[in-house]
Amino acid sequence: MNPLTFNHVYLEKIWGGRDLESFREDLPTGTIGESWDVASHRNGTSIVLEGPEAGKSLSQLYGEKRTDLFGTSMNYDRFPLLLKLINTTQALSVQVHPKDDYALAHENDLGKTEAWYVMKATPEAYLIIGTGDTDRKGFRQALEENRIEEILNKVSVKEGDVFYIESGLLHAIGPGLIIYEIQQNSDTTYRFYDYGRPRELHVEQAMEVIDFQLKGDRVEGTTREIDGGLKTDLIRCPYFALEKYDVETEVKEESDPARFFLFTVVKGSGTLRWEKGKKTLKKGDSFLIPAALGSYTLEGPVQLLKSYVPNSEEKGTT
């Protein structure tokens, strides 16, 4: 049993850029907006790069070896998470994602609750998180009067900031950013406003699913000392948990027979060791710890994000 590493599924976007080249050597030509680093979706699936499972897709493995690789609690029809990196040189559309019931009924897809970690930000970088104190009636009026940009909640951001974006929360990523995103395994987006770009909008669908009670505050998390470094609990929701590891020397961990873990290096470099091997880690690398791996060690100095599907009794909201 080995940790799994995957290819990068790159997507060209009109708002994308080339910033991922600062730590990636395989970036294709074009304005790359997204790198799907761990994905098992009809619009893109990861392929294992190394080890006994090399050449197999994540979708194939989830069907063939679900218990050993992904855990005894993975009773989902599809792999439950999607992990990506986002790079922006222009603002994304102002958009919203539906909840599960609406998405399944209208799009044959899941809803899309997600979380963002800011890996890189220019001094002017911002996010749009929600609509302030505007209600549905006021929002509709602002749309009719072409005043949408005036009422959006714009938040300045810096490296290390974390945000929880629940389905139903209107949002957008501004220019000058590299964002780590962990989300439900979905690709359903309703564009509400797109700064005059000639792309399809989904205004009526968006109005049906916007939740004006959601605010999406910055997540501070709770940090504690562990042997070899620090660990910060950031988010725990019904779909995923997100934690940050600041590994100063080495941190020893155990896999969980009930679930897999996803790790992404967001700063520094280090080494991953397990019983039968080791792997050098650098910024932007993601890997999957199988449920049956056993003991493994993270060696630093390196900063990583860890995401997974929590136990049902742990699924409180951050």
Query: What would the pLDDT profile of 223-266 be if each residue is shown by its tens digit?
Result: 999 999 999 999 999 999 999 999 999 999 999 999 999 999 99
Please give the Cα distance from 200 to 191 (Å, whole number). Answer: 7
Determine the topology of domain 222-314 in CATH: Jelly Rolls (2.60.120)
At residue 314, does pLDDT exceed 90? no
pLDDT digits (tens, 9 = 90+) for 1-37: 899 999 999 999 999 999 999 999 999 999 999 999 9
Helices (H), 125-263: 136-144, 148-151, 203-209
Residue pair 38/318 in contact by the 8 Å Cβ criterion? no
Superfamily of domain 9-209: Jelly Rolls (2.60.120.10)
* 7-11, 79-83, 194-198: the lowest-pLDDT one: 194-198
Residue 287, CA distances (Å) to 7, 26, 38, 284 in order: 10, 17, 8, 10
What pLDDT was estimated at residue 317? 53
| 132 or 240, higher pLDDT | 240
Tokens 């986002």: give the residue.
86
How do beta strands 250-254 and 261-268 pair?
A: unpaired
Tokens 């708002």: give the residue.
15
Cite the active site residues: 191
Please give the Cα distance from 49 to 279 (Å, whole number). Answer: 13
DSSP label at residue 292: T
Please provide residue 45's backbone torsions phi and psi, each rounded to the nearest 5 degrees.
-135, 145
What pLDDT was estimated at residue 215? 87
Please provide residue 243's backbone torsions phi and psi, each rounded to the nearest 5 degrees.
-130, 155
HSE, CB side, 13 Å, CA atoms: give it for residue 288.
32
Other C-beta atoms closer than 10 Å to the C-beta of 199 total 10
CATH 2.60.120.10, the chain: domain bounds: 9-209, 222-314
Other C-beta atoms closer than 10 Å to the C-beta of 218 total 12
Q: Give the mean pLDDT of 166-171.
A: 97
What pLDDT was estimated at residue 228? 98
What pLDDT was estimated at residue 216? 86
Q: What is the mean pLDDT of the chain?
A: 95
What pLDDT was estimated at residue 132? 81
Per-residue pLDDT band at 311 (split at 50, 70, 90): confident
Residue 292, CA distances (Å) to 12, 53, 81, 214, 305 in order: 36, 15, 19, 38, 20
